[in-house]
Amino acid sequence: MTQGNTMGIKGYDYVEFYVGSAKMVAYWYAKALGMEVKAYKGPETGVRDRTSYYLVKNNVKIVVTSPLQPDTYEIQNFLHKHGDGVKRWAYAVKDVELAFTRAVSRGAVPVVNPFQMSDANGVVHMATIKIYDDSEIVYFNTEQYKGLFQPGFAEPQQNIQLYAEDTKLMEIDHIVGNVRTNEMKRWADYFNSTMDFETFVDFGPGDISTKYSALLSQVVRSKDSVIKNPINEPYKGLKKSQIDEYIEHYHGAGVQHVAIASEDIITSIKALRKNGVEFLEAPKTYYENMRKSGRKPDETIEAIEAQGVLCDFEDITGGQGYLLQLFTKPIGDRPTFFFEIIQRVGGAEGFGQGNFQALFESIEQDQAKRGNL
């Protein structure tokens, strides 16, 4: 265990969504994001109250879960209030008992005490703590397990192995939470105190704004930077911010988006577009201003512009790094959850502050179409 990570957190593991129809959503992930259904649980595996699909693309791992019975209250109540959304995400840890005990002793709210699940393939260790409203963080260890995912899951019963372009998505880069006014610092302090994280970036009043709306944001991370969790809250502006819109339609605080890293974002975005994924569009002046700035990425500006990718340069010790990113439109009916595709070059560690103006103007264009600006 490194001095910078006293919790023994190795990185992100999986993200679990509660959805209205897991089978249809699994199809979307397989087709749109180019993921593969690796495991399944449901009536065919002896589970009567819910069904789950486990999808994988390189080190991106997603679970989609739906209720099968009216009395599956945990999932039904979540869906009734929030719609499809992230219920929990998992940190892979070296020792579940140690991580959980340390977090709770420092103020984390326990949801499920450490326990283990076992079958013929071995043992999985898990424990859960509370985060934003109805969301959860799972401490997860599968070092003693050789199965597909965890006990209760078996080979997929359905044939959802359809053709999709290779999206080259590699791993989760960060997970972003949206919270109410005056909650951001509380949750940042919660991460920092309970998991020995640190506040890496703090965007205050005026740092992230357009002529219409604004927000505040803090980025907390593990001290070895394997985990990064930005947290946003609304800030006063002339019109409703994207965070206000999220909280209004999600009916509370929760996960706004998951950022997935690519080693070749141009190829990834091309493939995702062919697979049917919709993205936000940058203002026309964005690329004109990039050319005028004189700073150039290794990729041509023409290639970036053709796919609508945003580029933010960072001055880094020993040279220049930059961040390439693009955001999908909300993937469900409510204007809540979306994905970010990201590529970090030359040691870039930021979150695209230089792109905020263009990004939020494009979000506001979609808000206006929905009548929510």
172-201 pLDDT, tens digit each: 999 999 999 999 999 999 999 999 999 988
Residue 241 near residue 215, CB atoms below 8 Å: yes
Q: Encode pLDDT of 331-370 as tens digits.
A: 999 999 999 999 998 887 877 665 666 666 666 666 677 7
| Mean pLDDT of all residues in 204-216 | 66
pTM score, two decimals? 0.91
Q: How would you label 59-69 residue by residue, b for 16+ Cβ within 10 Å and e otherwise? A: ebbbbbbbbee
Residue 243 near residue 215, CB atoms below 8 Å: yes
Give Rg (Cα) of the chain: 20
Residue 51 near residue 299, CB atoms below 8 Å: no
Percent of the chain with pLDDT over 70: 89
Residue 279 near residue 269, CB atoms below 8 Å: yes
**pLDDT at position 281, please?**
87
Tokens found for residue 104: 């709770």
Residue 57 near residue 35, CB atoms below 8 Å: yes
pLDDT tops 50 at residue 23: yes
Tokens found for residue 328: 């999908």
The domains of the chain, with CATH numbers, are 9-145 (3.10.180.10), 169-370 (3.10.180.10)
Residue 84 DSSP one-character state: S
List the one residue out of 184, 201, 195, 240 whose CA is nearest residue 360: 240
pLDDT tops 60 at residue 3: no
**Which of 16-25, 209-218, 279-288, 299-308 is predicted most confidently?**
16-25
d(CA 12, CA 149): 15
| Enclosing H/E stretch for 217 | strand 214-222
Q: How far is CA 241 from CA 33, 215, 237, 259, 294, in A?
A: 28, 7, 7, 20, 32
d(CA 81, CA 247): 11
Residue at token pair 């997935």: 260
Cβ count near 146 (within 10 Å): 8
Our CA angle for 252, 189, 213, nearest 5°, is 50
